[in-house]
């Protein structure tokens, strides 16, 4: 099995330690996040389970999200089973859109043979990863949140509630946002037309 296939096999799995190590192999800076506790909520809630957390187990344990040193990743996540895997947006820009918009965009991208790593949070949002520093090109698009730079972060699978729709491929570079823009523009245009007819 090739190194790339091995990484993608790991990322579609549920082993937090192996996934965190695989992100490190991609050159992405990994930080540890909070844990989701069944029946007790996010560990950020401490002794107050009534305290709301809208992204349980999928946000940094401290902000900014300081990356772990490569040789400490395995031990850190082994010591915190189920911790969220947090990555700062330095090696990619993250485009956050509504789930339906993201899935329609991915269908168009697949038809055009454009590989865009995409993760989903339930049926609420989809996050597409593009070449770092290019996301600003889409900042003017409605319904798109652009996350970029060391102060921004995203929770990656297998963080609680987060799954890959299309995992990254070590042999394929991240697409620039300019390659995504025409597909996104068409999806948004069709969505607007559908709403207008409804």
For 104-161, the pLDDT digits (tens) are 999 999 999 999 999 999 899 999 999 999 999 998 998 999 999 999 999 999 999 9
Spatial distance between the Cα atoms of 18 and 59, rounded to a whole number of angstroms: 19
Global confidence as pTM: 0.92
């Amino acid at each position: 099995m090739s190194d790339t296939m091995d990484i993608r096999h790991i990322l579609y799995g549920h082993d937090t330690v192996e996934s965190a190590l695989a992100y490190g192999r991609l050159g992405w800076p990994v930080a540890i996040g909070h844990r989701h506790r069944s029946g007790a909520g996010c560990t950020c809630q401490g002794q107050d389970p009534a305290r709301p957390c809208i992204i349980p187990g999928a946000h940094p344990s401290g902000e900014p999200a300081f990356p772990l040193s490569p040789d400490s990743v395995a031990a850190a996540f082994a010591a915190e089973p189920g911790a969220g895997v947090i990555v700062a947006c330095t090696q990619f820009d993250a485009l956050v859109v509504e789930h339906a918009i993201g899935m329609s965009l991915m269908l168009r991208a697949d038809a055009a043979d454009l590989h865009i790593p995409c993760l989903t949070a339930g049926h609420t949002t989809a996050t597409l990863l593009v070449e770092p520093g290019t996301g600003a090109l889409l900042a003017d698009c409605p319904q798109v949140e652009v996350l970029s730079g060391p102060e921004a972060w995203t929770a990656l699978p297998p963080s609680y509630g987060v799954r890959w729709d299309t995992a990254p491929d070590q042999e394929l570079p991240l697409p620039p946002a300019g390659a995504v823009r025409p597909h996104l523009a068409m999806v948004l245009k069709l969505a607007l037309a559908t709403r207008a007819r409804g």
